[in-house]
Structure 1
Amino acid sequence: MAKTLEELRIEIDALDKEIQSLIGNRAELASAVAEVKKTSDDKSSFYRPEREAQVLRKVIERNDNPIKDKDMAHIFREIMSACLALEQGINIAYLGPEGTFTQEATLKHFGHAVSTLDCASIDEIFHQVEKGNANYGVVPIENSSNGVIGATIDMLYSQGLKICGEVEVSIQHQLMMADQSKEIKVIYAHQQALDQCHRWLENHYPNIELKAVASNALAARIVKDEPNAAAIASKVALDLYTLERVAKNIEDKAGNVTRFIVLSKEEVPSSNKDKTSLLVVTKHEAGALFDLLSPFKEQDINVLQIARHPMPGIKWEYMFLIDIEGHQQQEHIQKALAKVSDEVLNLIILGSYPVAVL
């Protein structure tokens, strides 16, 4: 005989109690780990990107129930975030204000139990991590529609921070305003968002003034108090600033994704599924790019991407951002990088880190 609704609810309540108790047990073990670290010579951060990536991969591998793999991993992401907060409070610098895609990337990667520090620019995020005001920083590095983010590449080249993680966020732009019954006379957004919605704006608002601002979240905050203005921003910003949606998903290309990197002062051990990022300045001679890539082919290393970027302050000279499969501690990676170093003017190893799980 089928169970009644009341009987099913009683079973759910009992399971909820058991789940809550098990999460409490996990939290106690996390606190015990913290105490062991405090009394040992292990001075490394309590946040271990490679360990968390391994745990989340295992969650997905053993998932055999109706809940989707990614949804199950997100649940564990938040459990780990709450447990980490018991071990060690960490502060993450991100590109603010509240409601940006960078904040979304930060919370997706670290969970909601971390403290955050919103910064006005990419440069400031680097400086906050360097000065120790933030343990980590999250910055955009490339977009599937617009390519690499120049400000981030420039700072990676000039500063000494390492990449310890990555996270991808699907970018969906919403057009919003305080009162959509009003006529739109100006649209605010970050320049990149204006570029990503260029054709849609040309088709729907060809004669409207477009104003670029520091972030889409700032655009949303501006139009909250400007009756004839609209903003292009995220669904998070729409809800955060209690605006009305005029149009949904107005980006020109579906599947638009931005990749963010996590900045740290520390190197990350291998998680067994990693990538390594490099900045390379080649010699000014024929075949220089071929010579750069040959060692990777010789060692059977997969080059995941190569992107050209202008050298800061030097006209017509370029560096290359290269992502390769593997960790710099692996012998074949070390051999390839040693050869590359002999062939180029400058090689900067930005870091090895786990491939994004979520």
Structure 2
Amino acid sequence: MMTIERLREEINKIDEEILSLLNSRASCARQIGELKQKNSLVTYHPAREKEIYRQLLATNHGPLSYDTICAIYTEIISACRGIESPLKIAYLGPEATFTHMAARRKFGSSVEFVPVASIADVFAEVEKKRADYGVVPIENSTEGVITHTLDMFIESNLTICAEILLEISQCLLSNSSLEEIRLVYSHSHAFAQVRGWLKSNLPTTKCIEVSSTAEASRRAAMEQDSAAVGSELAAQVYHLNIMAKGIEDRVDNYTRFLIIGHSMVGRSENDKTSIMFSVKDRVGALHSMLSPFNKHNVNLTKIESRPSKDTIWEYIFFIDMNGHIEDDNVKEAIDELRESCLYLKVLGSYPVAG
């Protein structure tokens, strides 16, 4: 068996090789960035990144887990992308919200993150090109769809470029003891996710809703005898103790986020397409609108509706489906639907998260 000293010497040699390879990769990324700029191509290419992770999954034989490899490569890709062209990412803030966590998970740390106060502000930052991309929540497995995000797509011409699926683990954060806590701050969605735990463990505390879990953490850090329901990241940022982890009532608690930008992205091997459309108010209208998808063998994964802001009792429908807009069956189904509805917009085709 090799000695510790000898093994450390081996690690030093390996680190030198890794460093050399990382710089070689960065040099290639810089050249790609120059070619993209010359040909007016976008820097962020989610389908290409999905391909990288797929190759890593196929070739990794351990002992590092796939999740660990993905975390490492997220930062490698982020650093190389930053050399190509530094990105500015707007997200629903403040710092340490779950949207911030999702943005970091997708883009790594070698980007400029811009926290804004509302979902509408995220859209505005990207529309006015003060940010390259935006990250917004769209649905939670416990609380359902975020209607404000759907409403923004009615008004905006931005495109969905990618999606992020983030497992939400809520924590109780405080610098007081459990017995001293009198107030608990959090967002309404977070409270809904931990209602059972709070009832069992803090039945007499007063729950106060605020704009975000990060704002809740900020208040808990400033006030004695108070706590927040939020993330581990919020505990780090606001210097709070984690009193309890994983306090959500459902273990399969996920939030889906969308990355919004200006350009449609290319195909990967596993894509999703989102559209919105409106129909005339008549009996059987929606049923007839959905028939092209059955005809062309397109699988629908989600249907949501929102009231139109133009006409009373008129609704706009949002649909997610498997496949890319460039796939023949998807394109044919959408073209057929377009002929018989009042309005239709393709919101984007993008790689399925995971």
Q: TM-score range by the shorter chain?
A: over 0.9
Is 1:300 matched up with 2:297? yes
* Match of residue 8 from structure 1: 7
Take 2:95 and 2:41, find their aligned partners in 1: how far apart are those partners? 30
Counterparts of 1:100 and 1:77, CA distance in 2: 19
Normalising to structure 1: TM-score of the pair?
0.94
* Structure 1 equivalent of residue 217 of structure 2: 220
Per-residue CA deviations over 1:93-132 (Å, capped at 9, x if unaligned) read 0111111110110011111111100011111000000111
Q: Which amino acid aligns with 1:261?
A: L
Residue 238 of structure 2 corresponds to residue 248 of structure 1:
no
Report whether the alignment pairs 1:103 with 2:79. Answer: no
Confirm or deny that 1:29 pairs with 2:25: no
Instruction: Say which of 335, 338, 352 aligns to 1:338.
Output: 335
Shift of the 312–68 alpha-carbon distance from structure 1 to 2, 3 Å rule, reads farther
Which residue, out of 133, 143, 151, partners 1:146?
A: 143
Return the letter of the residue paired with 1:233.
G
Partner of 1:172: 169
Paired with 1:187 and 1:342, the residues of 2 have a C-alpha distance of 53
- The 3-state SS of whatever aligns with 1:224 is helix
What is the DSSP-based 3-state SS (H/G/I as helix, E as strand, rest coil) of the residue aligned with 1:236?
A: helix
Instruction: Measure the CA separation in 2 of the matches of 1:312 and 1:236.
Output: 38
Could you tell me whether the CA contact under 8 Å between 2:106 and 2:164 is conserved in 1?
yes
Is the CA contact (8 Å cut-off) linking 1:184 and 1:208 kept in structure 2? Answer: yes
1:23 Cα deviation after fit: 0.6
Query: Are residues 1:72 and 2:69 paired?
Result: yes
Which segments of 5 or more consecutive residues in structure 2 lack a partner in the other structure? none
Q: Which moved more, 1:315-324 or 1:79-88?
A: 315-324
Distance 2:172 2:215 in 1: 14
Q: Tell me, which stretches of 5 or more residues in structure 1 are unaligned?
A: none
Mapped pair 1:133 → 2:130:
yes
Does residue 18 in structure 1 map to residue 17 in structure 2?
A: yes
CA deviations over 1:62-103 (Å, ceiling 9, x no partner): 222221222212222211110111110110001111111101
Deviations along 1:207-254, one digit per CA (max 9) or x if unpaired, are 422211111011001111110221110011012211122322221111
- Determine if contact 1:190/1:219 at 8 Å carries over to the other structure: yes
Please report the RMSD computed on the Cα atoms of aligned residues, expressed in angstroms. 1.7
102-111 vs 303-312, greater mean Cα deviation: 303-312
Name the structure 2 match of 1:193: 190
Which residue does the alignment assign to 1:231?
228
* Shift, 1:320, TM fit: 2.4
Q: Give the CA deviation at 1:313.
A: 7.5
Contact 2:176 2:226 in 1 (8 A): no
Q: Which residue of 1 aligns with 2:260?
A: 263
- Residues 180 and 245, structure 1, Cα contact 8 Å, conserved in 2: no
Deviates more, 1:22-31 or 1:312-321: 312-321
Distance verdict in 2 for CA 1:33–1:113, change over 3 Å? same
CA contact (8 A) 1:276 1:324 kept: yes
Shift of 1:185: 2.1
CA drift at 1:301: 1.2
The residue type equivalent to 1:63 in the other structure is: N
- Taking structure 2 as the reference length, the TM-score comes to 0.95
1:158 alignment counterpart: 155
Structure 1 pair 65–245 and aligned structure 2 pair: CA distance change class (3 A): closer
Map 1:29-108 to 2 at 5 A.
Answer: 29-38=28-37, 40=38, 42-108=39-105
In 2, are the aligned partners of 1:291 and 1:343 still within 8 Å (CA)? no
Amino acid paired to 1:290: H
Q: Secondary structure at the match of 2:325?
A: coil
Within 1, Cα distance between the matches of 2:100 and 2:311?
33
1: CA distance, partners of 2:236 / 2:149:
28
The aligned amino acid for 2:339 is D
Matched residue, 1:329: 326
CA distance in 2, matches of 1:32, 1:242: 41
Match of 2:344 in 1: 347
Number of aligned residue pairs: give it.
354
Residue 181 (structure 1) shift: 5.8
| Counterpart contact for 1:187–1:209, Cα < 8 Å | yes
Question: Does the aligned pair in 2 maintain the 1:154–1:312 contact within 8 Å?
Answer: no
Offset, 1:321 = 2.1
Q: What SS does structure 1 have at the residue aligned with 2:298?
A: coil
Contact 1:164/1:261, CA 8 A, preserved across alignment:
yes
Q: Equivalents in 1 of 2:292, 2:14: separation in Å? A: 55
